[in-house]
Amino acid sequence: MSTVDQAVPLTTQTRSERLVRFITRTPLHIALIAIGVVWLVPTVGLALTSFRKPVNINSSGWWHSLTQWDWTLHNYGSVIHATGMGHAWVNSLIITVPATILPLTLGALAAFGFAWIPFPFRDTLFLLIVALMIVPIQTSLVPLLKLFANHWHLNNSFYGIWIAHTAFGLPLAVFLLRNFFITLPKDLIEAARIDGASNLAIFRRIVVPLSVPALASFGIFQFLWVWNDLLMALIFVSDPSKQPMTVRIPYLLSTYGQEYNLLSAAAFLLMIVPLIVFFALQRYFVQGLLAGSVKT
């Protein structure tokens, strides 16, 4: 082993050259590490605060906790039970899952039509969808609320928010998936057509299985978008027992503004889901975000 290493020197640098290189690169390291620290400190501070006893939080900064070593899970117990954040967390999930699956399904179906079945005005309709991608939510809030509350009486259920998120997620879904579907091999789909496969069968057996990366990217993007959304939940879910965490936390802030133990634990509960998604599915997540850059 070691003889091999010696036999194939990777660099021809001498020791002094390395030293010079190290010194000239020191500012680079300092700058990068400084920015990294600035970016990490806020989140780490919140996370550490959430595991400290209220007494300690109010008597010393969270940075002291690194030496005190006095942790507790008590804050999470209080915030989940006493303030109803556990319930709100479940609401977030109830809102997010259908609001991800619906636009994914409708979007994939439409994208298949746009990509592989010619029909009149196809291109015009598709350009319309491209334009709709960045319509600000604000232009739809009032009419949708009127529709849901005054006409359909949906404002005390989850239907309204599901529908609203579906409508706002759809243009991006159609756009992304259509652009992916179109890159699938044409021969494959035509061969299936010649064999007599129906459009639906081609969609289910060929297009969907081959498009898992694109479906996953959009699915993750939409999941995080809905999970993290505040404004639409604020408008469309008026029943407090159905509100998601993003809406309940500002309420917590207005009633327990100085209870840092509760606030930090609640915020951490809200963050934990996106963080898990981020670390588990980083590749799809980054792809989804890059692809979603045309939206917001």
Partner 1 sequence: MSTQGLPSPVAAPPPSKGRGEGLLSAGRRFQGFLFVLPALLVLAIFLIYPAYYTIRLSFYEGDFKFNPVHWLGIDNFKNLLTNDPDFLDLSKFPPSGALINNLRWVVVYISLALIIGLALAVLAVRVRYERAVKAAIFVPMAISATAVGIIWLFVYSPNPDIGVLNAVVHAFDHGVQPIAWLGRPGLVNYALIFAYVWASTGFVMVVLSAAIKGIPTEIMEAARVDGAGEWNIFRRIMLPMLSLPLSVVTIWLFINVIKVFDIIYVMTGGGPGTSSRVIAFTMYEETFHNGRPGYGAAVAVIMLVLIAPVMVLNVRRFRSERVIA
The reply on whether position 2 binds partner 1 by CB under 8 A is no
* Gap between the Cα atoms of 1 and 132, Å rounded: 61
Closest residue by Cα to residue 161 from 94, 208, 79: 94
Residue 1 CB, shortest distance to partner 1, in Å, is 23
Single-letter amino acid, residue 15: R
Q: Which stretch binds partner 1 (CB under 8 A): 9-17, 72-80, 83-91, 110-118?
A: 110-118
Q: How many residues bind partner 1 (CB under 8 A)?
A: 112
DSSP state at residue 158: S
| Residue 52 dihedral angles phi and psi, to the nearest 5° | -100, 155
DSSP state at residue 8: S
Which is closer to partner 1, CB of 3 or CB of 121? 121
* Gap between the Cα atoms of 140 and 160, Å rounded: 13
Selected binder of partner 1 within 122, 153, 205, 283 (CB under 8 A) = 122
Site residues for partner 1, 161-220, by CB under 8 A, read 163-164, 166-168, 170-171, 174, 182, 186, 189-190, 193-194, 196, 198-201, 203
The reply on whether position 158 binds partner 1 by CB under 8 A is no
The reply on whether position 278 binds partner 1 by CB under 8 A is yes
Cα radius of gyration rounded to whole Å, the chain = 26
Which is closer to partner 1, CB of 81 or CB of 283? 283
The reply on whether position 263 binds partner 1 by CB under 8 A is yes
Single-letter amino acid, residue 199: N
